Each structure stands twice: as structure tokens, then as C-alpha cells.
Chain A
Amino acid sequence: MTAGTRMSDVSATMDFRRRDARDKLMGRTRYTIDRYLPGMLHAAVLRASVPAGRIVRLDTAKAARMPGVRAIVTAADAPGTIGIGIADHPLFARDLIRYNGEPLAAVAADTLIQAHAALAAIEVEIEPLSPVLTMAEAIAPDARLVHPDWHDYEILLAGGAREGNVAWEASVVRGDVDAAFARPDVVIVDSNFRVGRQNHVAFEPRAVVASYEDGRFHIETSTQVPWTIRNATARLLGIPASQVRVTVPPVGGGFGLKFDIAIEPFAALLARASGRPVRLVNSREEEMLTCLFRENAEIRIRSAVTQAGEIVGREAVVLMDCGAYGGEQIFLTTMTAHTLGGNYRLGSVRLVSRAIYTNTAPNGAFRACNGVYNTFALERHTDEIAARIGMDPLAFRSRNVLGDGALGATGQRFDGDVLGPMLDRMNTMRPATATSRERNDGRLYGRATTVGTWFVFVGPSAATVNMNADGTATLVTSGVEIGSGSMMQALPQIVAATLGIAPDNVIVRTADTDAAGYDVGVGGGRTTVSLGAASLQAAQEVRKKLLKVASEMLEAAPEDLVMQNGRIEIAGAPGSGRSVAEVASHAQAKEGPVSATGAFTGRGVPAMPGCVAGHFIDAIDIPVFAVHDCEVAVDRDTGHVEVLSYKVVQDVGRALNPRAIRGQIQGGVVQGLGYALHEEVTIGADGSVRQAGFETYRVPLALDVVPVEISLYEGAPSMGPLGTKGAGEVPILNVGATIACAVANATGKRVQELPLTPPRVLELILGRKPALAFPHIADAWADNLVRPHGQP
């Protein structure tokens, strides 16, 4: 059931402060890593040190006898497999090792040092196999299979094409692309792009404290998705999900890393085996090497464009590296259509995204996922088109951006003119004169403006509002506060505004799968929308009940009553009526405590029939648009790029808490600057990530950033509660694109790769960087598919 946007007496914007700031500033907040229970054991995981191999022997007998060791668990203790789309992922490697770092066993001991000593005593014999480390190797005709039994895996979502090392393939075809390319009045622009992985660097590593009591597991974990933890743990262990309870302390950063199961099942198994609480925390090295990275990818995109600037045809092939298991990348093949196929009106389009297995650590979701590199590829390609037909890149964008009634890549219809007016607003933010051109320090100067399309990941949420006799309300959801403030600010604001009480009087219960209903998870910009809508619905129900009771107490019709300032009053007569506390106590005494539930899920916008194959989401319920602009200066001798200015116009629907949104934009842009300029991830010959710590993995520091100039664009249509859209995810979407286009403009060189580290930029400037070519991507689009589009 969807939420409406009524409520004339809902408060306008509140720049409401977050309630958890004080404790965080004083160092009092207890994150999962700060929880030490009496009698707690310390766990560690034995991980493979080769990228591919067959396990010949694994013997834990000696380790079990080591001092302090209380339990050891292995593959035999975890019979299940999990996955998205296909169940390909066991908890421990069984016969085959598929990545360097894959778990082989787990130990719990009195101290961490003892646990590590026990790991060293586990006897492992591995017969190495030849690893498949790149996507090109993986899809070569004679490639060794990462999953020899791929064909027999349980299918969790029907419809995806898959074969061999192609874990999943999603395709989109709308219109006749061949005809478009064959037109005599078009130019064909062909572009290749490549990106590496990005690590979230969530400050709190993945961490869990697990106990086993009365036949049930209690898992306390640093997660964004308590219900996924519950259900996936149960599946892996082969137990009913009702035996698992998940609670979530404050989370020290997520960004998508914690949108999937992490290390909880190891701790759960060890807690059951030992009868003691077990603490397991990933080391920073484990976080660097086995992060669920934003995947590395290769993109080839071609467009047929008329001299007047109309895009009559577009096709693309995107290769996405899953790593050893499909995971999030299988779902993300869906998002190419909405991002690489987004932004612009297209006469015809065909896109295929192929998620490829390699013998490397599995990738996952990171803030705006593949939207980030798809937008980089699309916007650079757009600038190449503009240059080819001699049109100003801004004029080309203005001419072509999605507007009211435009068809997306999957044939959905977009409502409202949003990107056009947002571009206009950016024009007013840009100064009339390019002052940077006057600088005389020998550097190369450039600027760029880019557009981006993303979406709010809707999905089911539930909420309960319990009215307390003292006039406060308790909001119960499975939402988690990961830093964006949505749980601390937007949600209590929505409930408070509906009930006319102060936000401080709304208690937000921390996530507990025993207490609250199902929620897909926190991330994807969905907290304010989905959890907000469910909370709004629940609050509205409570309001109705209170008004009914109040109307009896006051002998007035419910329609004549208002709830404000903690009171229920007769409209137009402030000070009349009763306090909310009085009404609530009266109701409680008469009929029992007042409470109500709400639920929300996406409405489901239709796509065009036949357009999509293998997609998890055919059309996006709530699109989110962004326009970014930046100026850069490039040192021609060292390749260093300095960002001089950065501007954002973000489509927010309605800004409930503008200050919180601005904080998300500043933070998201800076993460994007890291992706664009600094955060390189490379894989060594042993199949492991080379950047194992903060010395070699460089995130932006205070000196590397600029204050982002922000304009919140309100008013675009949204089915979110009160017209809101999620704002936390999209700030990162365009940053790689904007920096890349600006650097290309500054240097006059063809930027095809991120991150633009100084050596990479210097290589470009010196003309020593060969153009990217992907021999493993076939020229004929259809030759890149496992089976023809739409064929079952």
C-alpha cells in the first residue's frame, strides 16, 4: 500500500538536530566493536592464501587441542548456500577454493592471540588450480570454469541468462538499433571505458557478537540489513529463520558494504558449538582484501547521432566482475538500463550487462553501485559525441535530457520535466566569467557539467507506532542508523509532525528482528522513502485513533480537531482541548494501549513488454536526478589534479531536513572524489588486492576536498511520503563523470579510465597511454550474449 502526501498540518522543513551526536562526540557510543560481554570468546577465520585450488585435506585436530581453544567449525557445519538470483555461495569453501581469502574454518578461543595461534595449527593441503583473474580470461572460449557445477545451482529468480563463467546476463532492447546505425545521416561514436574497484573504507569493520540461548541465536552485528542477516544465516546453517534474532547497535559506516551478510554465521556457529558468546571482528587487512567492493568493469558504448544532435540509436556491452560468487553484481546487471541507458532520450537502444565470475574476492554494493561508472562512461561518451558533431556539450545535454513523457531504456514513461530545469539552475550557479582561466601558474584548466539518473531502491518496509500514556510515541522498525541521520532525524520528524508532538518525544527503537516487521534494509536512499512511508502510515492510524477518543472527550467532531504542540485542540481555539498525554492515558485506560502498524512497498511502474530480460527491476518507481559541475587544474609535469570548485543540483522531491541532505551531499561528493582521483585497487598475480591498508589505499583528506555548493531541487513528482525522495545515495553518482570530463577538457586528452591518479594523468598528457581496446568484447552486439535477447 502506498503512502499519500496529504497532511496539511504536517510541519514544513525542520533542520532537526540528530539525537546521537552528543554521545558520538564524547566517545560514549557503543558500536558493535565496543561490545564486550562477560565470558565472551574471541574468534578468527582461516582464509585461503591461493586464488584457486582443490582442498585435498583440512585437519583441525591439532588446532582443537591448542591452549584456550573452545570451538572450531568448518564446512560440515554450514550446509546451505545463498545468493541473489542463484544460490552459488557457501559459507566455507568446500572442495574448491575460488578466491584468495576464502574462509576455510573458524576458531573461537579465550583470547584473540590464542585464536590466531590455533589458525596457524590447522593443517591444510591444497592442490593449486590455474586461476582466472580477469574478465577477459574468464570469457575466453577455453576458460577454466570458476563454478564447474554452475548448471546445477538452485535458481532463486527465473529469467536470467547464464553460462559458464557468465554468472548472469541482463539485456534490454527497445526499438530497432540496427536500422538506426544503418541510417545515412548519422555519425557513429564508439567509446571504451574501464574502471577499477572501490573500497568503502567504513571505519567500523564488519563485526559481530553472537550468542546461543534457549535454542535460538542472538546476533548483534554492524549491519544495514538485519533481516538479510537473519534469513541468510538461517539458510547457510540449515535452520529455520525463526531461530535467529538480529539486533543492531549504532553502525560506524556502511555505504553498502554492510548491505549483505558478512561474518555473522561464523560467530553464530561458534557460539552454538562453545556455549559462550563469541566476538568476531574483521581486521583492517581483511576489510581491505575481502571487501564487497564496487566492482571493476569494462564498458563499450556506441551511439548513432544525427548532425543535429539527435541520438537515434545506442548500444552497449558492460562487463561486471562478480569475483568468485555472484552476489550483488547479479542484481546490479539490472541497473545498467537505468543509468547507462538513462539521462537522455534515445530513439532505440540495446544494452547487455554481463556479470562475470573470476577467482578474486566477491564484489558487492557501494553507494550508487554501477551507476557511478555507468555515468562516467555515459557522460564521457556524451562529450565525445558533442565534440564529434561540433556541438557544445551543454547544448547537447539540454537538447536531449529526459523530460515529461520521455521513454526510458526499458520503455517506462518519465513524469515531469526535471533534468532540463535542473540544468537551467546549474547555469545560474555557474559564474558568467570563467575566472580560473586567468590563472598563470602553468597548469591546465578545465571544467565540465554532467547529468545523472539514479533511483530510490524501494522494496518492503514495515513500522509500528506505539503511543505511550505520557504523550510520547515509540517508533518500531528494522531501520538502522548508519550515519545518514534518517533514523535520527527524518523518521522521528515524520511521526512527530503527524502527531503534533516534539520530535524529541518520538522514541526510535533500535533494530530487532524479534520486534519489528520485515525491512529490506538501510541503504539505496530508501530509509526516508520506504521506512518513512511505513512510519507515516502507522502514525496516521494512531492519529485517527487518538482523534476518535479525543472527539468523545471533547464532544467535538474529529474533523474539527487539530494535533499540535503536544495537544489535541479544537481548530481555531488554541489552548482548548487536552494534552496528547491525557488523551493517550484515557484511551489506554478505556480500550488498551493505542498503537498501529504501517507497511510500504514499491508501486511498480510498468516497463514496455518485451524490453527487458533477466532484470530484477523492470522500471524505477522513484527516479532521482543530479546535475554536477566542477573546475579542475592539472599539473602538466606531475599529473596532479586539483579540484577548484564543485557544484551540485540534486533532485530531492521535498527536503524534510535540508541540513542533513547537505551533509550527505558533501560526504558523497568527497567519496566520489576519491573514486575519481585517488582510490586505486589493483589485483596481484596471487589474485589478492594489493592495497592492504591505508598507506596504499588513499582516501581524500581534509586538504584534498572543496566545499560543495549545493542547490536542492524540489518539486519533482515522487511517490515518497510527503513528496520526498531518498537523498543519501545519489551524491556520489556523477562525481567520477564530472572530474573525468573536466580533466579531458583541461588536457585535451581522451580520458577512458578511473581513477585519474597522477601517473595515469601524466601518461595521458605525455601521450604515452594507448587507447583502450577490448578484444574480448565482440563488435556485433548480439555476439556478446549467452543467448539471444528474450529467448527463454
Chain B
Amino acid sequence: MAVSLIVNGERMASSADPMTPLVDVLREDFHLTGAKPVCREGFCGACMVLLDGAPALSCLMPLALAEHCEIRTVEGLSSGGTLTPIQTALEAHDAVQCGMCFPGMVVSLTHVLATTPSPTRDDIRMALTGNICRCTGYERIVEAALSAVAK
């Protein structure tokens, strides 16, 4: 029996086993490969999506619990190839290296900037506790986020 969900504003259905982690459904059924399964235990944040507006780890969410929910993946944050403010800031700061953590980073920071008025540097760093980056050492990501706040 198919599970229906709304992904990036579009109604979708999947007939995968209801216990299948959402990240695998997004990637293999809907070809939205932005979210990455890196640790599969909720520590790295690379699989992060927005579920009804709140950050959720799609590696730990069974498909059944996403039914009828509004899911937004990194692909659904920008439209028509136009970068969002946080994406623009990250590009301008030359923050990207291998790129695997950035879908999760972008989802996480999008939420932080939308819900925290005037975040400080430490607010941003605390908010990124669940987003690991192995390449960049974080500084430019934090700088970019702060510059996006100023706008």
C-alpha cells in the first residue's frame, strides 16, 4: 500500500516498505539525491530535511511516519536555479569543498536563520552541533551564515 507525502510542494507516493528510512525513499524512489546517508545514526546531519518546517534526520525516520507530511529537501529550497540567501552567502565565502555535507548544512542553516532572531557566532555554532564537515573546518560556513543574517 502506497504511502503518500508532499515533497518540495509536490504530492508523491512510494510503495517501499513502511519501515524504510525516508532518506532511501527520497533518493531511490524520487531521485532526490541531495540528502546523503553518511552515518545512519543521526550524528552527521548530511541527511537532514525539513519535515513540516522542522529539521528532521531522514535516516532515522521511517517512511510511514512521513505520511501526509510536508517534506522539503535541499533541492526544494531554491527554485529555478536561483540560490537562496544562505546558499549565495556560502558561495560568496568560497565555503564549499567536497560538498557532501552542504545539503544538510543548507537545510540546517535555513531553519536557524528563519527561526533565530540575530543569532550570534556561538548560536550558529551550537545550531551546527549535528552537522559535521570533514573538509572545511567550519569557519567559512559560520562566517557565511552570519553574513546572511546581516542581510
Q: How far is the CA of A550 from the CA of B35 in the complex (A)?
A: 50
Binds A, one of B50-58, B62-70, B127-135: B127-135
When distances are taken between beta carbons in the complex, the residues of chain A under 8 Å from B12 are: none
- Asked if A667 CB lies within 8 Å of chain B CBs, one says yes
Known: A26-B87, A483-B99. A33 touches B36 (CB 8 A): yes
CB proximity of A263 to chain B, nearest CB, Å:
17
In the complex, the chain A residue whose C-beta lies closest to that of B73 is: A27
Q: How far is the CA of A201 from the CA of B44 in the complex (A)?
A: 11
Known: A24-B99, A27-B33, A203-B98. A36 touches B39 (CB 8 A): no
When distances are taken between beta carbons in the complex, the residues of chain B under 8 Å from A668 are: 137
Task: Tell me if A203 and B97 are in contact (CB < 8 A).
Answer: no
When distances are taken between beta carbons in the complex, the residues of chain B under 8 Å from A31 are: 100
CB proximity of A288 to chain B, nearest CB, Å:
10
- Asked if A694 CB lies within 8 Å of chain B CBs, one says yes
Task: Tell me if A34 and B27 are in contact (CB < 8 A).
Answer: yes
Q: How far is the CA of A30 from the CA of B137 in the complex (A)?
A: 23
When distances are taken between beta carbons in the complex, the residues of chain B under 8 Å from A693 are: 39, 41, 43
Q: How far is the CA of A667 from the CA of B97 in the complex (A)?
A: 9
CB proximity of A326 to chain B, nearest CB, Å:
27
Contact of A25 among B27, B96, B126, B129 (CB under 8 A): B96
When distances are taken between beta carbons in the complex, the residues of chain B under 8 Å from A702 are: 124-125, 128-129, 131, 133, 138, 141-142
Known: A203-B46, A699-B132. A483 touches B98 (CB 8 A): yes
- Asked if A280 CB lies within 8 Å of chain B CBs, one says no
Task: Tell me if B129 and A701 are in contact (CB < 8 A).
Answer: yes
Which of chain B's residues 92-110 have a Cβ closer than 8 Å to chain A?
94-103, 106
Task: Tell me if A17 and B94 are in contact (CB < 8 A).
Answer: yes
When distances are taken between beta carbons in the complex, the residues of chain A under 8 Å from B94 are: 15, 17-18, 21, 659-660, 663
Q: Encode A675-711 as 1/0 by CB contact (under 8 A) with B.
A: 0000000000000000001110001111101011000
When distances are taken between beta carbons in the complex, the residues of chain A under 8 Å from B39 are: 284, 693-694
- Asked if A252 CB lies within 8 Å of chain B CBs, one says yes
Known: A252-B98, A483-B97. A666 touches B46 (CB 8 A): no
- Asked if B34 CB lies within 8 Å of chain A CBs, one says yes
Contact of B97 among A17, A29, A204, A484 (CB under 8 A): A484
- Most B CB within 10 A of own CB, among A283, A666, A701, A708: A701
- Most B CB within 10 A of own CB, among A254, A484, A702, A708: A702
- Asked if B78 CB lies within 8 Å of chain A CBs, one says yes
A-B contact count (CB 8 A): 161
- For this complex, into which size category does the number of interface residues on chain B fall? 35 or more
When distances are taken between beta carbons in the complex, the residues of chain B under 8 Å from A659 are: 94
CB proximity of A258 to chain B, nearest CB, Å:
11
Q: How far is the CA of A701 from the CA of B132 in the complex (A)?
A: 6
Contact of B96 among A24, A669, A671 (CB under 8 A): A24
- Asked if B40 CB lies within 8 Å of chain A CBs, one says yes
Known: A24-B102, A34-B33, A253-B134. A284 touches B97 (CB 8 A): no
When distances are taken between beta carbons in the complex, the residues of chain A under 8 Å from B81 are: 26
Q: How far is the CA of A375 from the CA of B73 in the complex (A)?
A: 44
CB proximity of A279 to chain B, nearest CB, Å:
11
Q: How far is the CA of A667 from the CA of B83 in the complex (A)?
A: 25
Which of chain A's residues 200-228 have a Cβ closer than 8 Å to chain B?
200-205
When distances are taken between beta carbons in the complex, the residues of chain A under 8 Å from B33 are: 27, 30, 33-34
When distances are taken between beta carbons in the complex, the residues of chain A under 8 Å from B77 are: 26
Q: How far is the CA of A28 from the CA of B132 in the complex (A)?
A: 20
Task: Tell me if A27 and B103 are in contact (CB < 8 A).
Answer: yes
- Asked if B140 CB lies within 8 Å of chain A CBs, one says yes
When distances are taken between beta carbons in the complex, the residues of chain B under 8 Å from A699 are: 132, 134
Task: Tell me if B139 and A666 are in contact (CB < 8 A).
Answer: yes
Task: Tell me if A25 and B75 are in contact (CB < 8 A).
Answer: no
Contact of B137 among A26, A200, A252, A666 (CB under 8 A): A666
28 CB-based A-B contacts, threshold 8 Å: A24-B99, A25-B102, A27-B106, A28-B34, A28-B75, A33-B33, A202-B134, A203-B38, A203-B100, A250-B99, A253-B98, A253-B135, A663-B94, A663-B95, A666-B139, A671-B137, A693-B43, A694-B39, A694-B43, A695-B43, A701-B128, A702-B124, A702-B131, A702-B142, A703-B128, A703-B129, A705-B138, A708-B139
- 9 tightest Cβ-Cβ pairs between the two chains A and B: A27-B34, A24-B99, A483-B98, A670-B137, A252-B100, A203-B100, A27-B74, A666-B137, A483-B97
Chain A residues packing against B (C-beta within 8 Å): 15, 17-18, 20-22, 24-31, 33-34, 36, 200-205, 250-255, 283-284, 482-485, 659-660, 663, 666-671, 693-695, 699-703, 705, 707-708
Chain B residues packing against A (C-beta within 8 Å): 27-28, 31-36, 38-41, 43-44, 46, 73-75, 77-78, 81, 83, 87, 90-91, 94-103, 106, 122, 124-126, 128-129, 131-142
